Structure 1
């Protein structure tokens, strides 16, 4: 479960007291060793804040924080824990907890990012089988960048990718079998990367057969309430040559 950890400083001084232990060891332990901390950053002081309100269609701007208070949000961290007790334990070990306060807020329940991205990859498989270009293109962001080893070309934008896919399908007769193996996924807040071997098999329009295996690296970005592919790079792994058999 995901939690937002708000790091709250105290007092009139917006600088972290000199006696506070450095935060880097805490970040390193929870990020690299335990994979609890997904993302986080220090924030500029409240004096640099800008507060916006809209009243009667007019945008009202106030320089400074929303409310005058001795406590202020100095930074934030996004944690992924098994439950609130693990989140509390992680927050209690944060160096600023000794001089300020740590506020823990759970995210609203939503579909797990890993599940959503794997469902997106399954959608590509179904789109290939049905030769449905538009269904496949719906998985990509408008500004996607794709490099494909088979053509040696790079497509910038979904329109260029659509044309390349339509040209590729014009050389194929019937459905396209897309088999994914070794799928590995890394999610970091609103971006993610996956690595996998993708085998593509199909019957060519001239009666031959296509059988290729590629290593595909894919970058994803969360757009609103869904994930989209923003980068994709394909290469032929060692020992997996592209095989195209003609009659």
Structure 2
């Protein structure tokens, strides 16, 4: 389960005797792989507090509350229990002069990157077979950027991508078979990548077969409740025979 460790500093505390943070990051982030991500934050004086009242955006320079203690940074850890997360937080050097607030992520709301990417891949395969462009579009972010195989040009935005896919499907008849021969996933926090070798097979309206092998490099974004494709680059692997295509 994932936990957020809020690193709470105290601007009146003497930090001269505090141990360095780097060994803690090395221990839990590299050796034990419990720390997924984290970073230090700028001081509260540089913060901007935003409120909306009656439709009006109210911006205030400075922190939400005037207090000696403030959130100086954060770390996201993945461990089996709250007790384990507390033990990790207790080892953080700032715990000796400030405080560490441990809060669990809501369970079951978001899917992990690996699961999300493989779900999207399966959805694209099913949608291609049904020639369901709406279903395919649901896998992409509204501001997606795609480098399309046919034109070689960039399509920016969901509308441009839809138009490109409609043009790709128009000379084909019947189902389009999308077979993923290879899929390598590179999960991350907030964003992720995959590299796939995909075979596309179908029949042209002229009766000619389409049999194309493509390599797809895809970037994904965590949209909060699901993962979406934010960037996609489609290309033909070198020295790959392409059947049913005119040069």
TM-score, normalised by the number of residues in structure 2:
0.83
Aligned partner of 1:38 in structure 2 is: 36
Aligned partner of 1:26 in structure 2 is: 24
Cα 1:235–1:20, aligned 2, differ >3 Å: closer, same or farther? Answer: farther
Pairwise CA distance, 1:55: 5.8
| 1:156 aligned onto 2:156 | yes
Aligned partner of 1:198 in structure 2 is: 198
Cα 1:243–1:162, aligned 2, differ >3 Å: closer, same or farther? Answer: same
Cα 1:241–1:147, aligned 2, differ >3 Å: closer, same or farther? Answer: farther
What SS does the aligned partner of 2:244 have? strand
- Distance in structure 1 (CA, Å) of the matches to 2:172 and 2:10: 66
Cα 1:200–1:58, aligned 2, differ >3 Å: closer, same or farther? Answer: closer
Aligned partner of 1:211 in structure 2 is: 211
Given that 1:39 and 1:188 are in contact with CA atoms closer than 8 Å, whether structure 2 keeps it comes out as: no
Pairwise CA distance, 1:4: 0.7
User: How well do the aligned residues superpose, as a CA RMSD in angstroms?
Assistant: 2.8
Cα 1:45–1:166, aligned 2, differ >3 Å: closer, same or farther? Answer: same
- Distance in structure 1 (CA, Å) of the matches to 2:243 and 2:17: 64
Q: Note the alpha carbon deviations across 1:117-158, whole angstroms, 9 max, x for none.
A: 322222211110011112212221222111134442322222
- Distance in structure 2 (CA, Å) of the matches to 1:131 and 1:163: 14
Given that 1:184 and 1:196 are in contact with CA atoms closer than 8 Å, whether structure 2 keeps it comes out as: yes
Given that 1:214 and 1:234 are in contact with CA atoms closer than 8 Å, whether structure 2 keeps it comes out as: yes
> Structure 1 regions of 5+ residues with no counterpart?
none
The more displaced of 49-58 and 222-231 is 49-58
Aligned partner of 2:97 in structure 1 is: 99
| 1:48 aligned onto 2:46 | yes
Q: Note the alpha carbon deviations across 1:10-59, whole angstroms, 9 max, x for none.
A: 3525xx82433333343345445544323222112233334445566666
The more displaced of 180-189 and 169-178 is 180-189
- Distance in structure 2 (CA, Å) of the matches to 1:39 and 1:225: 19
Q: Note the alpha carbon deviations across 1:45-99, whole angstroms, 9 max, x for none.
A: 2333344455666666554433343322111112222332432333233232232
- Distance in structure 2 (CA, Å) of the matches to 1:60 and 1:164: 42
> Structure 2 regions of 5+ residues with no counterpart?
none
Cα 1:89–1:238, aligned 2, differ >3 Å: closer, same or farther? Answer: farther
Aligned partner of 1:129 in structure 2 is: 129
What SS does the aligned partner of 1:104 have? strand
1:67-86, aligned counterparts within 5 Å?
67-86=65-84
| 1:112 aligned onto 2:103 | no
Given that 1:186 and 1:194 are in contact with CA atoms closer than 8 Å, whether structure 2 keeps it comes out as: yes
What SS does the aligned partner of 1:188 have? coil
